[in-house]
Structure 1
Amino acid sequence: MYPPAFDALLAALADIYRTEGREAADRTAQALTTTPAPESFLPQPPCELDAMMRALLVTSPHPAADAILAAQEFIPWGTNPVADRMSEAAAAICAVTTLMSPEGPIPAPDLRLGLFYQRPDSYYALHNHDADETYVILAGEALWTAGDDTRIRRPGDMIHHPSLMPHAFRTGPEGLLALWRWSGDVNTHSYAFLDDPQAIAV
């Protein structure tokens, strides 16, 4: 059994995926609420960005924000599946946790899922990967580029990136906290930053 606060977080995330309308989302919701608990969800040392995350989450109207706050001490921030593909500068603007993947902690052979936090007034440069990806904004906002579509995204917005679609995000003064899921070919070696004139302006 998961810690009660973590169990409530997984249920809140499963509720989000039940509204997405994709087969991968349905499987994700099922896995989040039925997979036996791993032993790794124990109290964690606070993440370096913990205070900033908490300050952002308390401002959010999204129902999952409260669940993240309540479970924050159990969330293993820092388990970024593509850390080896990022520069130090890129890694410094964000914190990532992986909750589900082929390697665990919640095992799933063709899914990766976690939470993503990005600092205020920062730019995550244009990139892509083989996996299909769905983001859900839980707190804060960002100017979000997904292919040819660039617009402000706010809590409750769901953004889908088909395989290899270039995407990037620029936060404002609040920063951003989002839920992400990869499906399909979830390899990490295809993750690549792309030529991006916007990155020069950061």
Structure 2
Amino acid sequence: MGLGQLFCQLATVFDGDLDIERNAAAALVQAAPRARDGSKSARLPSAVRDVLLAPDAHPVCSLIAEHRFDWAPPTTSDDPLFVEHSLPKVHVELLGPGGLVHSSKVRLGLYGMLPEHEYGLRTHPAEEVFVMLAGQVFWRRGDNPYVAEGPGGRSYHPSMLPHSNKTGELAFMSVYVWQGDIDTGKYDYQGIPDP
């Protein structure tokens, strides 16, 4: 399956009621004819691959598992704490300023994390939504407690809402989108929140 076909399949995942999801689906469909596979690829960690192939994973996960991406930790910030805390994560930006297809309107990509890790508290000007595709993740939004999400679950973050996530026994994979101010210059990583 080509990258353009995967974009079209991912567009169907953004089927929620929010404008950000409608915009993400439209951006993926519009970008699909321009989507070309990258020249590099890195192997997915087995814990992430396992959840992608689990029976309860979203159907698009088998296509993601087949595709050769240059999986790497996210590079949203060069803050040393962020870099350290990003090591157990896998990420590929599909659409965006540094994406496989350039976009100045959205950042959209695949994001996953190994079991028993935490991605600390952060804020950013962009509006954001994560749609969970496989495994399990716990999201904290603002001062609310962590809430478990599995395949089909969502975590919506309005601009500048503090949020964090962590995994338990399972890894997870998601697709995310940023819209609005997608520049990473005002991204603020604050580390692991107090319990």
Q: TM-score, normalising length from structure 2?
A: 0.87
Q: Which runs of 5+ in 2 are unaligned?
A: none
2:151 is equivalent to residue 151 of structure 1? no
Q: 1:191 aligns with which of 187, 190, 194?
A: 187
2:170 is equivalent to residue 141 of structure 1? no
CA distance in 2, matches of 1:34, 1:176: 27
**Distance of aligned partners of 1:76 and 1:191 in 2 relative to their CA distance in 1, 3 Å threshold:** same
Q: 2:64 aligns with which of 65, 68, 92?
A: 68
1:162 counterpart residue number: 158
2:26 counterpart residue number: 30
Q: Which runs of 5+ in 1 are unaligned?
A: none
2:4 counterpart residue number: 7
Q: Secondary structure at the match of 2:169?
A: strand
How many angstroms does 1:142 deviate by? 1.7
**Distance of aligned partners of 1:195 and 1:10 in 2 relative to their CA distance in 1, 3 Å threshold:** closer
Identity of aligned residues (%): 26
Two-structure CA RMSD over aligned residues (Å): 2.1
CA distance in 1, matches of 2:191, 2:77: 19
1:84 counterpart residue number: 78
How many angstroms does 1:66 deviate by? 1.5
CA distance in 1, matches of 2:147, 2:24: 27
Q: Secondary structure at the match of 1:25?
A: helix
Q: For this pair of structures, how many residues does the alignment match? A: 191
CA distance in 1, matches of 2:164, 2:193: 12
Q: 2:177 aligns with which of 167, 181, 194?
A: 181
The 8 Å contact of residues 79 and 98 in structure 1, kept in 2 or not, is answered as no
Amino acid corresponding to residue 127 of structure 2 in structure 1:
D
How many angstroms does 1:42 deviate by? 3.5
Q: TM-score, normalising length from structure 1?
A: 0.84
How many angstroms does 1:197 deviate by? 4.1
